[in-house]
C-alpha cells in the first residue's frame, strides 16, 4: 500500500485538477436544457408589511412570460419546517409559525419573496417582475430583540408574541447556579453581542428543476450541503412529492458554511414551476439576493456571569441570551442557540454549576441559522471573554486561570455541568503545545519592538471545546430533533476490482473525493486511485444526512469503515471457498487473503472477480456480488478542543487592529489527511478573524440591510490576514468511532474570535486604557472610540 495515499498521508486532492482547469460543474454551469426557462423573484423592499393586493395581469401578458406565481398558489402546500422542537422553561412547545414558499398575507423581511415570474429568458422574467403591481402597506419594523418581547407589533400575528421560546438549560440547575453566584467570593459580569454575519459562500445559490410527466418524476439540481435532507424536507413537509419521485442532485458546490444546509423556498418554487409550465426552470441568486435571503449567522445578545472563589476556582457560569431567529424559523434555527450552544457552556472546565437561558425572538430580518460553528462560537466567545475579564479582575495570568480550572486528562469520560459527556481530551497538553509553537515566551520582546514603533501589542489566549459528529439519533431525539443524524455509505466493488463508494456526506470544499479513498485503500490494501467517491445525488447513494457540524469524517467516514468491514467479511468467505479453508482461518492483509499458517493466498482483485463470476461458487451460502451498505449512528458527539493564541498590533492613533500572529493548536483526534485538516483550520481562522475585526450584517431601524454588498460588508481579504501557525499533534482519539476522528471544519471559526478580542483588550490595557470590552467587529472606529472614552 503506497504510504502517501493511506490514512494519515497528506495526499494531494484529486478534485483540484478539474477546479484548476475550470472544469468544475457547479449548478449554474450545467449546460442549459433545450427547454430551459428562467425564474426571477419579486422581493419585498420593506421589512414588515401587509400585502393588500398583488396584480400580476400586466406581467403575465409580457413577452416570454410563461407563468407568474404568488403566495396564493402555495396556500395548500406545507411550510418549510424547523427541524428541532424546543420546549420553553414552562413546558410549552416553541411557537412555530408557517414559513411559506412565497410570502402570503404579509412580507416579513427585506428580500422576502412574494411572487415569481417564469419566462423564456432571465431578462424577460426580470422585466415582468418589474411590472408586478404589489400594494404592500408598510408597518413599523420589529428589529430589536429586547424591545420585540414587549411590543404588541408582531412578526407573526397568529402567534400573538415575538418570542419563539424561552429555554432553560438545565432548568433543574438554575437554583444551584443562582446560589453559587450569590455566595461567591468574586463574580465577573460581561454583556456582549455576538455579531450577526452573512455566510457568503462564494458560489451564490442556484436551483434548477425539471418534471417528467410520463413518469411523474421531478429532478432538482441545487446548491446543497445535504441533498437527501433537502429531498426529505420537500417530500415530507413542503410539497408532498413522494421521495421516490424526486431526485435531488447537488453537483460541485462552491462553499456552504451552513448556509446551504437548509431548504429554501426557491427550490420549491422551481419544482412547482417546472410542473406547471412543463419546462426546465432555473433560478440563480445574485449576490444581493444572497445577502438578503441566505440564512445569516450568530446574532446573540448575551449577559454572562462567572462566579469564582478567592483562588480563582470556577463555581458557576450563568448566561442570559437573546437569540435573534429572524422572520421565519430556518431548519436548524432552533437547535443552534440551544443544544449547540447551551450544552457547551461548561467549556473546558470542571465548573460545577451552569445555567443557560435563551430567549429566541422573531424580528423582521432574514432568518438566522447555523453558520460555521453554529452555537459553539457563541458559547466559546461568551465563556472565554468572561474568563479573560475575570483573570484581569483577579490579577491572575489568563493561561494560569484556565489551567487551574481545566478538566484533567484522567477525568475522562467527563460529565460536564452543561449535560454532555466528553469522551477524551487533554487541554493542558494543548496549552503546552500552544505556548511552544507560538513562542509565547518571546512575546515580551515583540511587545517592546511594537512599542518602539509606537504601536500597542496585545496577547490573547483562548481554549475551546465543541461538540461535533452530529449526532446520536437517540440523544438528539430526546432533545427535540425531528430527524435522525446517522449517515450512510455503500461500498461497491466492481468485478474488475475497482470501487465506487457512495457516501451520504457532501463535499463542497472538504476534499471527500480524496480522503474517503485514503481510508478505504488503507483498509483494503489497494490503490486509492482505483476508488471513486460518489456523492451529492439521491438517485445514486443510499441515504445520508449530509455535511455540516464537522460530521463528515466522524459519522459518514465511520459508515464507510463499517461498510468496508462488511466487504472484508464477505470477501473472506469467498476467499475461504477459493482456498478451501474456513473463513475463520482466512487472514486479510495488504490486499491479500491467505490461509493462516500456509502460503496459500488470493488477491483482493481475484476475490472481486469471483464474486461477479460465481462459477464453482457456494451459491447456497454466499450471494454473488460484492457490495455492502452501512448506516452509522454515533454513540456520542465527538469533542474537538483547542488552545489558541493571537498577537495583535493596535495603532493608537487610528484604532486599527492588525493580527500579527495567530496560533491554533487543536485536538481533532486521529487525522486522516493533515494537509486538508490544516486547510480547514485556516479557513475557519479567516472567518473567525473576519467576525472579530471586520464583518457585520447591519440592519437599520427600518429593517433595511445596510451591508448588502461587498462594498458595505467587509469580507476578509488576503491583506487582512496573516500566515497562521497550526498544530494538531496533540490529538486524543475519539473513543467511540472506528476512526478515532473528531472533526475539524468549524474549530478555527470557534476558537479565534475571542482570542482576537482578548488580544486587543490586552493591547489597550498595556497602553494604560481601562477598556474591558468592545463588541465585535473591532473596527478602527470602535477601538478608537473605546480608547478615547476610557
Partner 1 sequence: MTKVEMTVNGKQVSRDVEGQTLLVSMLREDLRLTGTHVGCDTSQCGACVVHVNGKSVKACTMFAIEADGADIKTIEGMAGSDGSLSVIQSAFQEHHGLQCGFCTPGMVMTAANLLKDNPKPTEAEVRHYLQGNICRCTGYHNIVKAIMAASGQDVSAIAAE
Of 169, 162, 175, 150, nearest to 87 by C-alpha is: 169
Q: Judge residue 704's burial from the number of C-beta atoms within 10 Å of its C-beta, 0-12 exposed, 13-18 middle, 19 or more buried.
A: middle
For β-strands 280-284 and 300-308, DSSP reports them as: unpaired
Beta bridge partners of 318: 305, 355
Q: Which is nearer to partner 1, 175 or 710 (CB)?
A: 710
Task: Characterize 279-301 residue by residue with b for buried, 16 or more Cβ atoms within 10 angstroms of its Cβ, and e for exposed.
Answer: bbbbbbbeeebbbbbbbbbbbbb
Instruction: Provide the minimum distance between the beta carbon of 723 and partner 1 in the complex, in angstroms, as a whole number.
Output: 6
Among 425, 458, 469, 509, binds ligand FES (CB under 6 A): 509
Binding mask 194-233 for partner 1 (x = CB under 8 A): ------xxxxx-----------------------------
Q: 10 Å Cβ neighbour count for 37?
A: 27
Q: Which residue has the cell 520582546?
A: 445
What are the start-end ranges of the E strands in 371-520?
414-415, 421-422, 456-465, 487-493, 499-503
Stretch in the footprint of partner 1 (CB under 8 A) among 176-184, 208-216, 273-281, 504-512 = 504-512
**Phi–psi pair at 298, nearest 5 degrees:** 65, -130
Q: Which is nearer to partner 1, 234 or 776 (CB)?
A: 776
Q: Which is nearer to ligand FES, 72 or 202 (CB)?
A: 202
Footprint (CB under 6 A) of ligand FES, residues 742-781: none
Instruction: Provide the minimum distance between the beta carbon of 655 and partner 1 in the complex, in angstroms, as a whole number.
Output: 21
Footprint (CB under 8 A) of partner 1, residues 259-298: 286-288
Instruction: Provide the minimum distance between the beta carbon of 124 and ligand FES in the complex, in angstroms, as a whole number.
Output: 23
Among 105, 255, 278, 525, binds ligand FES (CB under 6 A): 255
Instruction: Provide the minimum distance between the beta carbon of 507 and ligand FES in the complex, in angstroms, as a whole number.
Output: 12
Footprint (CB under 8 A) of partner 1, residues 233-252: 252
Instruction: Provide the minimum distance between the beta carbon of 784 and partner 1 in the complex, in angstroms, as a whole number.
Output: 23
726 binds, among partner 1, ligand FES, none (CB under 5 to 8 A by kind): partner 1
286 binds, among partner 1, ligand FES, none (CB under 5 to 8 A by kind): partner 1
Q: Which is nearer to ligand FES, 591 or 679 (CB)?
A: 679
Beta bridge partners of 320: 303, 357
Residue 509 as a binder of partner 1 (CB under 8 A): the answer is: yes
725 binds, among ligand FES, partner 1, none (CB under 5 to 8 A by kind): partner 1
Q: What is the rounded distance in angstroms from the CA atom of residue 364 to the CA atom of residue 47? A: 6
Of 563, 724, 732, nearest to 632 by C-alpha is: 563
Q: What is the DSSP secondary-structure string of 507-540?
A: -SSS-HHHHHHHHHHHHHTS-GGGEEEE-SBTTT
Of 615, 715, 562, 692, nearest to 202 by C-alpha is: 715
Q: What is the rounded distance in angstroms from the CA atom of residue 396 to the CA atom of residue 739? A: 39
Among 17, 33, 202, 444, binds ligand FES (CB under 6 A): 202
Stretch in the footprint of partner 1 (CB under 8 A) among 110-118, 308-316, 632-640, 676-684 = 676-684
Instruction: Provide the minimum distance between the beta carbon of 710 and ligand FES in the complex, in angstroms, as a whole number.
Output: 8
Size of site (CB under 6 A) for ligand FES: 3
Q: What is the rounded distance in angstroms from the CA atom of residue 661 to the CA atom of residue 675? A: 20
Q: Which residues contact 704 (CB under 8 A, 6 or more apart)?
A: 47, 110
Among 214, 620, 723, 789, binds partner 1 (CB under 8 A): 723
Binding mask 677-716 for partner 1 (x = CB under 8 A): xxx--xxxxxx---------------------xxx---xx
Footprint (CB under 6 A) of ligand FES, residues 452-471: none
Contact 516, 558 (CB under 8 A): no
Q: What is the rounded distance in angstroms from the CA atom of residue 790 to the CA atom of residue 781? A: 14
129 binds, among partner 1, ligand FES, none (CB under 5 to 8 A by kind): none
Long-range contacts of 609-613 (CB under 8 A, 24+ apart): 609/495, 609/496, 609/497, 610/574, 610/578, 611/493, 611/495, 611/570, 611/571, 611/574, 612/494, 612/495, 613/495
Name the site residues for partner 1 (rule: CB under 8 A).
Answer: 10, 12-13, 15-26, 28-29, 31, 200-204, 252-255, 257, 286-288, 508-511, 674-679, 682-687, 709-711, 715-719, 721, 723-726, 748
Name the site residues for ligand FES (rule: CB under 6 A).
Answer: 202, 255, 509
Amino acid at each position: 500500500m503506497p504510504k502517501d495515499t493511506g490514512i494519515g498521508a497528506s495526499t494531494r486532492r484529486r478534485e483540484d485538477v478539474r477546479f484548476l482547469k475550470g472544469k468544475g460543474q457547479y449548478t449554474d454551469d450545467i449546460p442549459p436544457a433545450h427547454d430551459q426557462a428562467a425564474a426571477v423573484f419579486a422581493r419585498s423592499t420593506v421589512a414588515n408589511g401587509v400585502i393588500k393586493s398583488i396584480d400580476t395581469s400586466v406581467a403575465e401578458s409580457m413577452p416570454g412570460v410563461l407563468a407568474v406565481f404568488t403566495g396564493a398558489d402555495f396556500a395548500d402546500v406545507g411550510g418549510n419546517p424547523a427541524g428541532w422542537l424546543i420546549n420553553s422553561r414552562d413546558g410549552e412547545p416553541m411557537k412555530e409559525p408557517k414559513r411559506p414558499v412565497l410570502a402570503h398575507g404579509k412580507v416579513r423581511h427585506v428580500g422576502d419573496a412574494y411572487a415569481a415570474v417564469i419566462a423564456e429568458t432571465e431578462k424577460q422574467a426580470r422585466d415582468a417582475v418589474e411590472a408586478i403591481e404589489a400594494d404592500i402597506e408598510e408597518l413599523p419594523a420589529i428589529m430589536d430583540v429586547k424591545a420585540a418581547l414587549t411590543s404588541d407589533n408582531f412578526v407573526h400575528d397568529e402567534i400573538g408574541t415575538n418570542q419563539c421560546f424561552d429555554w432553560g438549560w438545565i432548568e433543574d440547575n438554575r437554583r444551584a447556579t443562582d446560589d453559587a453566584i450569590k455566595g461567591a467570593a468574586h463574580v465577573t459580569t460581561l454583556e456582549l453581542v455576538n455579531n450577526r454575519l452573512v455566510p457568503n459562500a462564494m458560489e451564490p445559490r442556484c436551483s434548477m428543476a425539471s418534471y417528467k410527466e410520463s413518469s411523474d418524476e421531478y429532478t432538482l439540481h441545487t446548491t446543497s450541503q445535504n441533498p437527501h435532507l433537502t429531498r426529505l424536507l420537500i417530500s415530507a413537509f413542503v410539497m408532498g412529492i413522494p421521495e421516490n419521485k424526486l431526485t435531488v442532485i447537488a453537483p460541485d458546490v462552491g462553499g456552504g458554511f451552513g448556509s446551504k444546509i437548509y431548504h429554501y423556498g426557491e427550490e420549491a418554487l422551481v419544482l412547482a414551476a417546472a410542473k406547471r409550465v412543463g419546462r426546465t426552470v432555473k433560478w440563480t441568486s445574485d449576490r444581493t439576493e444572497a445577502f438578503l435571503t441566505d440564512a445569516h449567522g450568530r446574532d446573540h445578545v448575551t449577559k454572562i456571569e462567572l462566579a469564582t472563589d478567592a483562588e480563582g476556582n470556577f463555581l458557576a457560569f450563568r448566561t442570559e441570551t437573546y437569540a435573534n431567529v429572524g422572520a421565519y424559523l430556518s431548519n436548524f434555527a432552533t437547535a443552534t442557540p440551544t443544544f449547540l450552544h447551551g450544552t457547551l457552556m461548561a467549556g473546558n472546565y470542571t465548573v460545577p454549576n451552569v445555567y443557560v437561558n435563551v430567549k429566541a425572538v422573531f424580528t423582521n430580518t432574514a432568518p438566522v441559522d447555523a453558520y460555521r460553528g453554529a452555537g459553539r462560537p457563541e458559547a466559546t466567545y461568551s465563556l472565554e471573554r468572561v474568563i479573560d475579564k475575570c483573570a484581569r479582575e483577579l490579577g491572575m495570568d489568563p493561561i494560569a486561570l484556565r489551567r487551574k480550572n481545566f478538566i484533567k486528562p484522567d477525568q475522562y469520560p467527563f460529565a460536564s455541568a452543561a449535560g454532555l459527556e466528553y469522551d477524551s481530551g487533554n487541554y493542558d497538553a494543548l496549552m503546552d503545545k500552544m505556548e511552544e509553537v507560538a513562542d509565547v515566551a518571546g512575546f515580551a520582546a515583540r511587545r517592546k519592538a511594537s512599542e518602539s514603533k509606537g504601536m500597542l501589542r496585545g496577547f490573547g489566549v483562548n481554549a475551546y471545546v465543541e461538540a461535533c459528529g452530529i449526532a446520536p439519533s437517540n440523544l438528539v431525539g430526546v432533545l427535540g430533533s425531528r430527524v435522525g443524524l446517522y449517515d450512510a455509505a455503500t461500498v461497491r466493488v466492481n468485478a474488475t476490482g475497482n470501487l465506487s463508494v457512495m457516501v451520504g456526506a457532501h463535499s463542497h470544499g472538504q476534499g471527500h473525493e480524496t480522503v474517503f479513498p485514503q481510508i478505504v485503500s488503507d483498509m483494503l490494501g489497494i490503490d486509492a486511485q482505483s476508488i471513486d467517491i460518489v456523492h451529492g445525488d439521491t438517485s445514486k447513494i443510499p441515504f445520508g444526512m449530509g455535511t455540516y457540524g464537522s460530521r463528515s469524517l466522524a459519522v459518514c467516514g465511520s459508515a464507510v469503515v463499517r461498510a468496508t468491514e462488511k466487504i472484508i467479511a464477505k470477501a473472506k468467505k469467498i476467499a475461504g471457498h477459493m482456498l478451501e479453508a474456513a473463513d475463520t482461518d482466512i487472514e486479510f492483509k495488504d490486499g491479500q487473503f491467505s490461509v493462516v499458517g500456509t502460503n496459500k493466498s488470493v488477491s483482493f482483485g481475484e476475490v472481486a472477480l469471483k464474486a461477479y463470476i460465481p462459477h464453482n461458487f457456494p451459491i447456497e451460502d454466499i450471494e454473488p456480488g460484492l457490495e455492502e451498505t452501512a448506516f452509522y449512528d454515533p454513540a456520542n458527539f465527538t469533542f474537538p478542543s483547542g488552545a489558541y493564541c493571537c498577537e495583535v498590533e493596535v495603532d493608537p492613533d487610528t484604532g486599527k487592529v492588525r493580527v500579527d500572529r495567530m496560533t491554533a493548536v487543536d485536538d481533532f483526534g486521529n487525522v486522516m489527511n493533515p494537509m486538508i485538516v490544516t486547510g480547514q483550520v485556516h479557513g475557519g481562522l479567516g472567518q473567525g478573524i473576519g467576525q472579530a475585526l471586520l464583518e457585520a450584517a447591519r440592519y437599520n431601524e427600518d429593517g433595511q440591510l445596510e451591508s448588502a454588498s461587498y462594498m458595505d460588508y467587509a469580507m476578509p481579504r488576503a491583506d487582512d490576514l496573516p500566515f497562521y501557525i497550526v498544530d494538531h499533534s496533540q490529538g486524543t482519539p475519539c473513543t467511540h468511532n472506528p476512526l478515532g476522528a473528531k472533526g475539524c471544519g468549524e474549530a478555527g471559526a470557534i476558537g479565534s474570535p475571542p482570542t482576537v478580542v482578548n488580544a486587543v483588550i490586552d493591547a489597550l490595557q498595556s497602553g494604560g486604557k481601562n477598556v474591558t470590552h468592545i463588541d465585535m467587529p473591532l473596527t478602527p472606529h470602535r477601538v478608537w472610540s473605546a480608547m478615547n472614552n476610557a
